[in-house]
Structure 1
Amino acid sequence: MPVAKHWTVDINIGEQDGNTAAEATLRTDDGVQLAGNGAARLNPADDDIPEIGDELAAARALSDLGHRLLLAAAADIEAVSAQPARLTW
């Protein structure tokens, strides 16, 4: 597949006191930027394995980013069509 556009997603992850936060930021060639957030917390009964918290927080941030991207697409469709957009996941 020829590449006509390149979008980049960066994920930043931080942890403090058993709480992990992640932010997934999408940047497009056109200068569009969207961000999604996710979090995870350690259950005191579980072993402290930071990689698992990172994975959960990053997955949730990417899911949030995907939802925000879908909402942005719906808003763009509505702007050009003057009709309500009905996009499903």
Structure 2
Amino acid sequence: MIASRQWSVEIFIDEHEDERTTHAEARLHTNDETHLVGRGTARRNPKDSDIAEIGDELAAARALSALAHELLHAAASDIEQLTHEHTRLHS
């Protein structure tokens, strides 16, 4: 029998016009107690066009990248708890 699971990632994006920054937070929800968060920021140069979608994309990509690193760290920690040996996983 094939076991299937569903995980979900929510991405929350906040734009701060006064600072010309966009902040994103990617939250992973799994079927167990694993709830990881990755955060990313994009900054707009004052000379750049004000196109919100680009800041959203950059901040979200950086948040997802940070989330991926958190997930690798969680997996390595889980392996270390089972094997009692140092584990280093590469992305």
TM-score strictly above 0.5 = yes
Return the TM-score normalized by structure 1: 0.94
Q: Which residue of 1 aligns with 2:9?
A: 9
1:62 shift after superposition: 0.1
Unaligned runs of 5+ in 1: none
Instruction: Tell whether 2:90 aligns with 1:88.
Output: yes
Give 1:75's aligned residue: 77
Runs of 4+ in 1 over 3 A off after TM superposition: none
Aligned length: 88
Distance 1:73 1:16, change over 3 A: same
Q: Tell me the equivalent position of 1:23.
A: 25
CA offsets, 1:11-69, max 9 Å, x none? 00000122100000000011320000000011011101000000000000000000000
Provide structure 2 residue ranges, at least 5 long, that are not aligned to the other structure: none
TM-score (norm 2): 0.92
Say which SS state the counterpart of residue 59 (structure 1) adopts.
Answer: helix
| Distance in 2 separating the partners of 1:43 and 1:24 | 24
Q: What is the alpha-carbon distance in structure 2 between the residues aligned to residue 88 and residue 36 of structure 1? A: 18
- Identity among equivalent positions (%) equals 53
Q: Corresponding residue for 2:56?
A: 54
